[in-house]
């Protein structure tokens, strides 16, 4: 599956990378996991195709929340990353 970073995700990740040196490693791991199982994340209560994926904290980095959209019916080969933020 193809991982597509929406502008909102790329912008958030760029800002976070200044304070989280291992963010690229975390993003690569998330991409790998979601490409293999795009239904790993929890569906949002609002319905639709948006899901929430949470990482574990590791290597001194906090856990992160990743919002993404996956429509297995209409577009099963693409996963759209919408936003990334540290867990609070």
So what's the pLDDT on residue 16?
Answer: 96
Using the 8-state DSSP alphabet, how is residue 61 labeled?
B
pTM: 0.91
Residue 82 has φ and ψ, to the nearest 5°, of -105, -40
Q: What is the largest CA-CA distance in the chain?
A: 39
Kind and range of the H or E run holding 7: helix 7-17
Q: What confidence score (pLDDT) does residue 88 get?
A: 73
Task: Give residue 13's pLDDT.
Answer: 96
Per-residue model confidence (pLDDT) at position 72? 87
Residue 11 is predicted with a pLDDT of 96
Counting as low any pLDDT under 50, the low residues of the chain are none
- Given this model, what pLDDT does residue 61 score? 92
Q: How many CB atoms lie within 10 A of CB 70?
A: 19
């Amino acid at each position: 599956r193809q991982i597509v970073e929406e502008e909102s995700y790329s912008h958030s990740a760029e800002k976070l990378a200044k304070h989280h040196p291992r963010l690229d490693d975390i993003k690569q791991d998330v991409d790998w996991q979601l490409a293999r199982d795009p239904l790993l994340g929890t569906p949002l209560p609002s319905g639709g195709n948006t899901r929430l994926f949470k990482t574990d904290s590791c290597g001194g980095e906090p856990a992160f929340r990743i919002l993404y959209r996956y429509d297995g019916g209409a577009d099963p080969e693409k996963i759209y990353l919408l936003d990334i933020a540290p867990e609070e």
